[in-house]
Amino acid sequence: MRRAEAEDAGRIFDHLLRLSVEDRSLRFCGAVREPTLRRQAENVAAGYPAGLLACSPEPGAPVRGMIEIARIGAWAEVALSVEPDWRGAGLAPRMMLAAARWARLRGIHVLEALTLPENGAMRGLGRKMGARSRMDDGMIRQMFDVDMLLRDELGPLPLEGGAHPVGPVAHLASVSNHRPADLRRAAA
């Protein structure tokens, strides 16, 4: 998992194109055309909505999964996609946890996903990860409690001198399983 960057726009677009038409419809809650996918890829690569990418660590590696996080006041909306060949390997839960780390570092306590009733994969992820779900105007609104998602992880403890992680150190915490001791070493 890593944060999307400007040079990732083409790889994000290719990832979205590798999804079937049905999968794209489930991801975007309706039919989307290629220009919309390209705009979405460019927006995520530019930083809004924030995007965390699942891909091999090699430079230029294809994006195989992605979670987008759009802060909306005190909460954030999430949307994720995983390519068919990569499903069932635990990528979606890992992306949700990475998004929860991102959110916690920004003082966000609720992640929300809006999904179609026929999106069984997203509904299953919500059940597995303890989301509260309700029907809202024909859509299913899933609310994920960030603190509950991260209950087995240590909170963002301050570094020496009482400072909280920022910059590259906060980025490590937001997209990895690094513990505070690892963060202290990274900050040194």
Sketch the domain layout of the chain as residue ranges. 2-153, 155-188
pLDDT at 171 over 60: no
Report phi then psi at 156, rounded to 5: -70, 90
d(CA 142, CA 162): 35
Q: Which two tokens stand for residue 77?
A: 């909306």
Is residue 41 a contact partner of residue 9, using CB atoms and an 8 Å limit? yes
What would the CATH number be for the domain defined by 2-153? 3.40.630.30
Task: Please report which confidence band the pLDDT of residue 154 belongs to, taking 50, 70 and 90 as the band edges.
Answer: low
Q: How far apart are CA 97 and CA 94, in angstroms?
A: 5
Closest CA to 2 of 46, 66, 82: 66
Rounded to an integer, the average pLDDT of 26-47 is 93
Q: Is residue 127 a contact partner of residue 117, using CB atoms and an 8 Å limit?
A: no
Q: Which pLDDT score, from 0 to 100, does residue 94 have?
A: 94
Task: Grade residue 38 by pLDDT with cuts at 50, 70 and 90.
Answer: very high
pLDDT tens digits along 98-151:
999 999 999 999 999 999 999 999 999 999 999 999 998 999 999 999 999 999
| Residue with the larger pLDDT of the pair 11 and 58 | 11
